[in-house]
A and B are shown apart, each in its own frame.
Chain A
Amino acid sequence: MKTLADLKKIREKAQQEMKLRSSNTRIKIVIGMGTSGIATGAREVMKTIMDEVASRQLSDVIVTQTGEKGLSSMEPVVDIIEEGKPTITYGNMTAEKARKMMAEHVVNGKLVNDYVVAQN
């Protein structure tokens, strides 16, 4: 038999997992998954980002993908969208760069200026 404390734990865990279906998200990470994005490794970048979200238990982040945005020479491209702030576009991403971006930008709110290709 489970106790009330167990129930509370289950509730918290389930809430995290279902966060995706509520609209209360802080940051939206959009990965360009057009032909050239995929060709230059966007899938690996996305996998890394998802791993980071899972291992850091970030519940207020959503990860989604988009098509070609006209920056083919800088693919893979990742946009970080936060409400009330300019959209930050990172270019020429790799798994390693993505990990750094997650730690510094998404978690601590500090831009990784070396990788930023556009702000608007």
Chain B
Amino acid sequence: MKFYRSHILIGIDNTSLEAGVKEIEAALRTELDKNNLSDEINILETGSFGYFGTGVSMMVYPEQTTYVDVKVEDIPEIVEEHFLKGRKVSRLILNTNLLKKYNFNYKRRIVLDNSGKIDPENIEEYIGLGGYEAWEKALINLKPEEIVNEVKASGLRGRGGAGFPTGLKWSFTAPIKAEQKLVVINADEGEPGTFKDRLIMEGDPHKLLEGLMIACYAVGATKAYIYIRGEYKLCIERLEKAIAQAKEYGILGENIFNSGFDLDIMIKIGAGAYICGEETALIESMEGNRGEPRSKPPFPGVKGAWELPTVVNNVETIANVPAIIKNGAAWFTEHGVEGCTGTKVYTMMGDVNLPGLCEVDMGTPLRTIIDQYSGGMKDDRKFKGALVGGAAGVFLSDKLLDVKMDYNSLEEYAAVLGSGAILVMNDDVDMVEMLWSVIRFFRHEACGKCSPCTKGNEVLYTLVSKFRNGEGCEEDLDQMIEISQAMLDASFCPLGQSLIMPVKSAIENFREDFLMKIK
């Protein structure tokens, strides 16, 4: 066994890659070499630490010192002071006042419990933290129907946005007799402002694989696909590595652990169309067709990709499965609230002190999420509203700050949890501009298959632009709600159907913003 007295974990994500993390890592290795420290100190790459806007960050164990915004020219100082002489370089340490405000909630994490702590490109680190124990348990000790029942009992619901019970979804496909069944992971993550799946895959790719393997075994699928958007280069790279390692270790492949079960996992790369996040459009795209939604029924669970029974699940949903199988449904239901169990990963953006990821129990109110887990409002500004659930989400006003954030409680206020993107806005933000950019997005992404959505978006865009130019009138507001209601009734798929949420909530909750623009 090689003993290192210190581990340096470098956070690799898109922010840090852009800030030149690779050069900094190379410089660090050279500098450690120069000081004969390379056999004492281990450098590892890990996923995102969960906070952003701090350039390249590194965490030094065992002291758990976090350095942020590290530049190449800081490296000699860090090596000489910290690693040679044992004195921390205080000017680079993450602002502790800010850190004190920030609660990483490590104890309650399920999906992100390894992110920022392990080297995602090393399967042994995942295994060392109990990884693939659930897969072993499922394959050797459990029957497929027992797994389906356990997931049902856990109350796990789809984390992609719609919140459909996962166990129930599996139970439709599991009993079907077919030569070939499929499980597809929806890693398209097109919802604006959502980047949770990306960081799950970057930080802990094996967790997704393990969950996927269990799902395949539970529904009787011997082939699985991960449909991932092409922009997620780092995710693709890490997942490919993870799949290769799992095969090498005999965790994936033919006759796994002598159980007689075969499984292969493949990656399909999408081209970044928003519509392909909808499961039937995703399936069309996988088959090589134009990404347009299909009519349901038949549901994919019965007749999906290449007419085979296909279960489509979101990344975060599946990343919960290993913990459920390992610790049991009862343990899982201790997290969250009744009817909505477990945790939720949110992507925090906008006017908060520490934007980034946070994983908290379902049912945690928005106020708590902002104040405790995101460092509070930036510059102590007043909270005006939040766009929750991405573009297809709802503009919440400060009246709903204390509502429990879970599928059921939000529904009472005609709001949705959606994908878990939360855009926080201070009192400077103009809601007309916000709604305009949301509608502009949908107008661009409408796929053209059905008229209510294509035309509806066009008209909405014209109307909201009128307010922007100071040409709107009160009747236009009523008309916008009316049109989005018609889109809800008549659109073919959730894309057009969801416009009602941002449009209605923006107009109802922030009507003054629109009226102010009327001359």
| Option from B4, B255, B257 in Cβ contact (under 8 Å) with A4 | B257
A41 CB within 8 Å of chain B = no
- Which 3 A-B pairs rank lowest in CB-CB distance, beginning with the nearest? A14-B128, A65-B86, A54-B3
Check if A4 sits within 8 Å of B136, measured CB to CB: yes
Check if A15 sits within 8 Å of B128, measured CB to CB: yes
Instruction: Tell me which residues across on chain B come within 8 A of A31, comparing CB atoms.
Output: 86
Check if A21 sits within 8 Å of B117, measured CB to CB: yes
B178 CB within 8 Å of chain A = no
A85 CB within 8 Å of chain B = no
Check if B124 sits within 8 Å of A2, measured CB to CB: no
What CA separation (Å) do A50 and B3 show in the bound complex?
Answer: 7
Residues of chain B at the chain A interface (Cβ within 8 Å): 1-7, 40, 61-63, 84-87, 117-118, 124-125, 127-130, 132-133, 136, 140, 249-251, 253, 255, 257-258
A16 CB within 8 Å of chain B = yes
Residue of A nearest to B9 (CB): A21
Per-residue contact bits, chain A 66-89, to B (CB 8 Å; 1 contact, 0 not): 110000000000000000000000
| Option from A3, A4, A13 in Cβ contact (under 8 Å) with B1 | A13
Check if B249 sits within 8 Å of A2, measured CB to CB: yes
Check if A64 sits within 8 Å of B1, measured CB to CB: no
* Min C-beta distance of A18 to chain B, whole Å: 5
What CA separation (Å) do A46 and B130 show in the bound complex?
Answer: 32
Instruction: Tell me which residues across on chain A come within 8 A of B86, comparing CB atoms.
Output: 31, 33, 64-67
Check if B7 sits within 8 Å of A2, measured CB to CB: no
Instruction: Tell me which residues across on chain A come within 8 A of B249, comparing CB atoms.
Output: 2, 6-7, 10
Q: Is the interface of A mostly helix, strand, loop or mixed?
A: helix
Pairs A–B under 8 Å by Cβ, sample size 29: A2-B251, A3-B250, A7-B132, A7-B249, A7-B251, A10-B128, A11-B128, A11-B133, A13-B128, A14-B128, A15-B129, A16-B1, A17-B124, A18-B118, A18-B128, A20-B4, A20-B6, A20-B7, A31-B86, A33-B85, A33-B86, A46-B5, A46-B40, A50-B5, A51-B3, A54-B3, A64-B5, A66-B86, A67-B86
What CA separation (Å) do A65 and B86 show in the bound complex?
Answer: 5
A119 CB within 8 Å of chain B = no
Check if A62 sits within 8 Å of B62, measured CB to CB: yes
* Min C-beta distance of B390 to chain A, whole Å: 34
Check if B85 sits within 8 Å of A67, measured CB to CB: yes
| Option from A3, A10, A50, A65 in Cβ contact (under 8 Å) with B257 | A3
* Min C-beta distance of A56 to chain B, whole Å: 10
What CA separation (Å) do A18 and B9 show in the bound complex?
Answer: 12
* Min C-beta distance of A15 to chain B, whole Å: 5
What CA separation (Å) do A14 and B249 show in the bound complex?
Answer: 14
What CA separation (Å) do A18 and B42 show in the bound complex?
Answer: 11
Check if A21 sits within 8 Å of B62, measured CB to CB: yes
- The verdict on A54 contacting B253 (CB below 8 Å), with A7-B127, A18-B129 known, is no
What CA separation (Å) do A5 and B271 show in the bound complex?
Answer: 42
* Min C-beta distance of B166 to chain A, whole Å: 27
What CA separation (Å) do A25 and B64 show in the bound complex?
Answer: 14
What CA separation (Å) do A48 and B61 show in the bound complex?
Answer: 20
* Min C-beta distance of A81 to chain B, whole Å: 12
Instruction: Tell me which residues across on chain B come within 8 A of A64, comparing CB atoms.
Output: 5-6, 62-63, 86
Interface centre among B85, B124, B257 (most CB of A within 10 A): B85
Interface centre among A7, A51, A53, A54 (most CB of B within 10 A): A7
Instruction: Tell me which residues across on chain A come within 8 A of B6, comparing CB atoms.
Output: 20, 64
Instruction: Tell me which residues across on chain B come within 8 A of A54, comparing CB atoms.
Output: 1-3
- From 1 to 49 in chain A, residues with beta carbon under 8 angstroms from any chain B beta carbon are 1-4, 6-7, 10-11, 13-18, 20-21, 25, 31, 33-35, 38, 46-47
Check if B127 sits within 8 Å of A14, measured CB to CB: yes
Check if A13 sits within 8 Å of B124, measured CB to CB: yes
7 further A-B pairs in the complex, CB-CB below 8 A; given A64-B6, A65-B85: A3-B258, A6-B249, A10-B249, A33-B84, A50-B40, A63-B3, A67-B85
Instruction: Tell me which residues across on chain B come within 8 A of A25, comparing CB atoms.
Output: 62
Instruction: Tell me which residues across on chain A come within 8 A of B255, comparing CB atoms.
Output: 1
Check if B87 sits within 8 Å of A14, measured CB to CB: no
* Min C-beta distance of A5 to chain B, whole Å: 10
Residue of A nearest to B257 (CB): A4
Instruction: Tell me which residues across on chain B come within 8 A of A20, comparing CB atoms.
Output: 4, 6-7, 61-62
Instruction: Tell me which residues across on chain A come within 8 A of B62, comparing CB atoms.
Output: 20-21, 25, 62, 64
Instruction: Tell me which residues across on chain A come within 8 A of B132, comparing CB atoms.
Output: 7
Per-residue contact bits, chain A 99-111, to B (CB 8 Å; 1 contact, 0 not): 0000000000000
